Amino acid sequence: MKRKSTQCYLGLGSNIGDLKQNIDVAIKKISLLEDTQLIKVASFYLTKAWGNTRQQDFINTVISIKTKLEPNALLLVLQNIENEMGRVREEKWGPRTIDIDILLYEDIVVKQPQLTIPHPYLTERSFVLVPLFELDKTLVIPNQGQLVHFVEGKSHDNDIITII
């Protein structure tokens, strides 16, 4: 029996090198994954660093894909893309050529040491909330509520500098 395609949302960010090109290359690599189809790409946002704020600004976006890959298999192929693109994990929330996070995997909830879905900081990060809302204003975050409640009525001006 063949597995059906699952709707997923991925967050991408870069703050080392040619930021826009890093995001473009990562999106291209994701679109070429087996059993995976790129559906939509949000605008690119220039954003302030989150967590470790003593570093260069980021470019961030969110993409929507459909994939037949299970969550852990998807995580592995995304980490391979990060590694191929020179991602180095030296410090938590440190600078990176590319960061690819699984934000949502349909309505699935995963709590494992190596993977948590929905992404644990999804509702705290304007650089994820705003592009995610751009892609689908009706999304529901499993066990947390409607995306609109995390976006509307909150100022994102301190985090998002501009749309590119």
Given 54, 57, 89, 101, which residue is catalytic? 101
107 catalytic residue (yes or no): no
Given 87, 89, 125, 157, which residue is catalytic? 87
87 catalytic residue (yes or no): yes
99 catalytic residue (yes or no): yes
60: its two tokens? 């961030």
Quote the CA–CA distance of 66 and 130 in Å, as a whole number: 21
Q: At what angle do helices 19-31 and 71-84 cross, to 10 degrees?
A: 140
Backbone phi and psi for residue 88, each to the nearest 5 degrees, phi listed first: -120, 130
Given 18, 54, 99, 125, which residue is catalytic? 99
Task: State whether residue 149 is helix, strand or coil.
Answer: helix
Given 54, 57, 89, 96, which residue is catalytic? 96
Concatenate the DSSP letters of all residues of 23-43 into one string: HHHHHHHHHTSTTEEEEEEPP
Q: List, by residue number, the catalytic residues.
A: 87, 96, 99, 101
